[in-house]
Amino acid sequence: MNTGSKIFNLAKTAVTAVAMLGITSVSNAQVTKTFVLLNNLTDIASVSVSTNSGSSFAATSAGRFQGTFNGVQVPLFSTDVKHTLSFDSGYTANVGFNITDVGGSLVSSYYQGGLASVLSSNADFVSPTITAGAAATRSSEVAWLVDTYLNSTVGTFSTLGSGSTSLLTNEVAIQLAIWDLTQDGGDGLGAGTLRVNGADLTTYGSIVTFYEGAGQAGGQTTYTGKADFIQAPTSVIGTHSEYFATVVPEPGTYAMIAGMSVPGLILMARRRKTGSK
């Protein structure tokens, strides 16, 4: 499959399909739920993105996505810009591992570990492979950004100092920072395998640098947040559509999920404090 078919593309109504959930699951377990990526573009913008060091660029959906797990809607960030997932289609996703769990091998359709599983020895979407230590660091930095900013509001960015007070601009920049940290270790949008160009580099470049620095300072291998590693495989065993992440903001959502008999999932109890990041 060529690179252009592997990234979020608005025209093709496809988006990257590996996610982290802010729903904390029982780690080191296989817990599958029905996952649907919603065609909700409220917090999404089209950005010109390259995943081949600038050789070619394609319109790519970036920002805060929306999905459902067993019918309960949650916000999402993607951690994989190399694969695709169709809007409004159902996938059986494994939500049993945290983003920061150590890497594991592929068993049937799912990796038995966290985000590091697809960054080091398995290298599902990062090439060339990186060391286990680098994979752990990138995973922690990504988890910190998701845990900190996924449920942000307009007020979160009013005094943050990112370079923009726009909710949409910041959410898009955070998504781009997550992708760049994952792919390149956070070298900015003008270098490495993942790049943006033109007006998008002007709009998001310095803001992404701000969030990459925040993730590197707040994450590292010592971060113990519990953002979940969401794996949504295609019909081909061992082939994944994408990875995502989410954080459930309201305790009431836990009751909704518990009422739907979703064993193995425990929601984060602590609430996000607007503007405290």
Question: Is 274 within the bounds of a domain?
Answer: no
Token output for 19:
């996610």
Place of tokens 């600038």: 54
Q: Tell me if 12 is assigned to some domain.
A: yes
Cis peptide before 233 (omega within 30 of 0): no
- The reply to whether 275 falls in a domain is no
Q: What is the pLDDT of residue 5?
A: 32
Domain membership flag for residue 276:
no
In a domain, 272, yes or no: no
CA distance 46 to 28: 35
How many other CB atoms are found less than 10 A from the CB of residue 46?
A: 18
List pLDDT tens digits, range 116-169. 888 876 666 666 778 889 999 999 999 999 999 999 999 999 999 999 999 999
Q: What local confidence, expressed as pLDDT, does residue 156 receive? A: 96
Residues 1-29 have a mean pLDDT of: 39
pLDDT of residue 219: 83
Mind listing the pLDDT tens digit for each residue in 183-217?
Answer: 999 999 999 999 999 999 999 999 999 999 999 99
Contact indicator for 31, 100 with CB cutoff of 8 Å: no
Give the domain range for residue 50. 3-265
Domain count, the chain: 1
Residue 53 burial (CB count, 10 A): 12
Q: Which of 5-9, 35-39, 113-117 has the highest mean pLDDT?
A: 35-39
Report if residue 273 sits inside a domain. Answer: no
Q: Which two three-digit tokens encode residue 206?
A: 């310095």
Residue 254 neighbours by CB under 8 Å, 6+ apart: 248, 266, 267
Residue 277 maps to a domain: no
Task: Provide the strand spans (E) within 22-171.
Answer: 23-25, 32-37, 44-50, 58-63, 65-69, 72-78, 85-86, 90-98, 106-107, 110-111
Q: Residue 101 pLDDT more than 50?
A: yes
Domain membership flag for residue 271: no
